[in-house]
Amino acid sequence: MEFLLQLWLPILLTAVVLFFASFVAWTVLPHHESDFSPLPDEDKLMETVKSLDVAPGCYMFPHMTHAQAKDPEKIAKYTSGPRGTLVVWDMPNMGKNLLLTFVFFLLIALVTAYISWEALQGQTVTFLKAFQIVGAIGVLTFASSGQLNAVWFPRRTLMDFIDGIVYGLLMGLVFALFWPNGA
């Protein structure tokens, strides 16, 4: 637990920096505007979903369990398409979602601090060494999160990947700047 005493400042600052970097990426910069495409008849789909009284959740269509995967009717329905997922949101709670975003970044910084502390134990930690280790962990964490899911449930993830590289490098920079001397 010594790492918490030594690295509490970069852990906290990382969460703050990444929270604001995320805000900039999603509300100021235009690069996420192309992540989602409009439907040809959005109003018709919205009316249909409303009329079906679909509760908030994640749905796959056509839906099929593993046990049903050999059913010829299910296979024909799946093969003929369309295939996809539908995610229906409840009305977002901005306060809660912002808090959860901060907590997410805080937890990633905390685990990264632990791994980095253990990896660098007994070494003279230079700015570059702290940046390399923490930045690499950050890039791996942020740039890869969600990529595997996108393999199975296709969606555009290039901008998320780029954001992840930026977040990882920012985390590396914060830890490198505030790594405790003599630790």
pTM of the model: 0.83
The angle, 0 to 180 degrees and rounded to 10, between the axes of the packed helices 127-144 and 94-120 is 130
Model pLDDT for residues 132-141, shown as the tens digit of each residue = 999 999 999 9
User: pLDDT value at position 154?
Assistant: 76
Please tell me the least confidently modeled range out of 11-20, 29-38, 148-157: 148-157
**Does 155 score more than 80 pLDDT?**
no
**Does 51 score more than 80 pLDDT?**
yes
Q: Residue 107 carries which side chain, given as an amino acid letter?
A: L
User: pLDDT value at position 177?
Assistant: 96
User: pLDDT value at position 183?
Assistant: 55
Task: Name the band, by pLDDT with cuts 50, 70 and 90, for residue 182.
Answer: low
Model pLDDT for residues 157-178, shown as the tens digit of each residue = 888 899 999 999 999 999 999 9
Mean pLDDT computed over 33-44: 91
Instruction: Please identify which residue in the block is written with the tokens 């791994």.
Output: 115
**Strand, helix or coil at 125?**
coil
**Does 149 score more than 80 pLDDT?**
no
Range 80-84, long-range pairs (CB < 8 A, 24+ positions): 84/60
Whole-number Å distance between alpha carbons of 79 and 24: 41
Model pLDDT for residues 99-138, shown as the tens digit of each residue = 999 999 999 999 999 999 999 998 999 999 999 999 999 9
Task: Name the band, by pLDDT with cuts 50, 70 and 90, for residue 153.
Answer: confident
